[in-house]
A and B are shown apart, each in its own frame.
Chain A
Amino acid sequence: EPEVTQTPSHQVTQMGQEVILRCVPISNHLYFYWYRQILGQKVEFLVSFYNNEISEKSEIFDDQFSVERPDGSNFTLKIRSTKLEDSAMYFCASSEQVNQPQHFGDGTRLSIL
């Protein structure tokens, strides 16, 4: 069964450094999402992406964050200058159509030191 894949599984970065989290959504899916989960807290929506542009973003998704679909298969989340509070599990998700289930990757655990 097709699945969403995320790399790396764990990323350790110094505060202030840039980090890029990578995702390969399911190939025929058209809608892409990033969510995050701080340890012990709820999964939170960050951003949705459709037709090569951001369709919605949350208050968390400030100017330090950006997303890109550089080619036909990858979907990336960049954090420009990481802060300690960016430490979390970041999940990528995709869906075939807007009314279809979202399928999640296994996540990237981001640790900011």
Chain B
Amino acid sequence: KQEVTQIPAALSVPEGENLVLNCSFTDSAIYNLQWFRQDPGKGLTSLLLIQSSQREQTSGRLNASLDKSSGRSTLYIAASQPGDSATYLCAVSPILTGGGNKLTFGTGTQLKVEL
């Protein structure tokens, strides 16, 4: 059974700092990995999706990497801003066996960027 772990559980940084969020998963037979942010009381906003054949994806100040063989992904946030404060979730999907792509989520990293 796939288990997804995110470290740290919470992180507080001053504005402008570069930071790295970590995600690890126990079963390397994944189809893709997706990073989300979740604001309090809100849904999940998709940030980046990495296919299992890819090593990284970039969007603006965000860069996600994937090392499938070691079961790890990192989300790098450059020049953090207070608006980046949210919970960041990592989710993986298994090799496709049917007409869907169920995601297994980690517990998230709660990020606070302070002025």
**A residues neighboring B (CB under 8 Å):** 4, 6, 31, 33, 35, 41-45, 48-51, 53, 55-56, 58, 91, 93, 95, 98-107
Q: Which of A43, A45, A58 contacts B89 (CB 8 A)?
A: A43
A91: chain B residues at CB < 8 Å are: 43-44
B46–A101 contact, CB under 8 A? yes
> In the complex, A6→B36 CA distance in Å?
18
How many A-B residue pairs have C-beta atoms within 8 angstroms? Tell me: 73
In the complex, which residues 79-115 of chain B have their Cβ closer than 8 Å to any Cβ of chain A?
Answer: 89, 91, 96-108
B107–A42 contact, CB under 8 A? yes
- Across the interface, name the chain B residue whose C-beta is closest to A92: B43
> In the complex, A103→B44 CA distance in Å?
8
> In the complex, A106→B40 CA distance in Å?
10
> In the complex, A51→B106 CA distance in Å?
29
A48–B102 contact, CB under 8 A? yes
Q: Which of B43, B45, B105 contacts A42 (CB 8 A)?
A: B105
A51–B34 contact, CB under 8 A? no
Across chains A and B, which 7 residue pairs bring their CB atoms closest together, nearest first?
A48-B100, A55-B99, A50-B99, A55-B100, A104-B44, A106-B43, A43-B105
B32 within 8 A of A: yes
B99: chain A residues at CB < 8 Å are: 31, 48, 50-51, 53, 55-56, 98
For residue A51, give the distance in angstroms from its CB to the closest CB of chain B.
6
B75 within 8 A of A: no
> In the complex, A106→B103 CA distance in Å?
17
Would you mind naming 18 contact pairs between A and B with Cβ atoms under 8 Å apart?
A4-B43, A6-B43, A35-B103, A42-B106, A42-B107, A42-B108, A43-B105, A48-B101, A50-B100, A55-B100, A56-B102, A95-B101, A98-B101, A101-B46, A102-B46, A104-B45, A104-B46, A106-B42
- Across the interface, name the chain A residue whose C-beta is closest to B108: A42
Using A48-B98, A48-B102, A98-B96 as known contacts, list a sample of 16 further A-B pairs with CB atoms less than 8 Å apart, ordered by residue number in A.
A6-B43, A31-B100, A33-B100, A42-B106, A42-B107, A43-B89, A43-B91, A48-B101, A50-B100, A51-B99, A53-B99, A101-B34, A104-B43, A104-B45, A106-B42, A106-B43
B31 within 8 A of A: yes
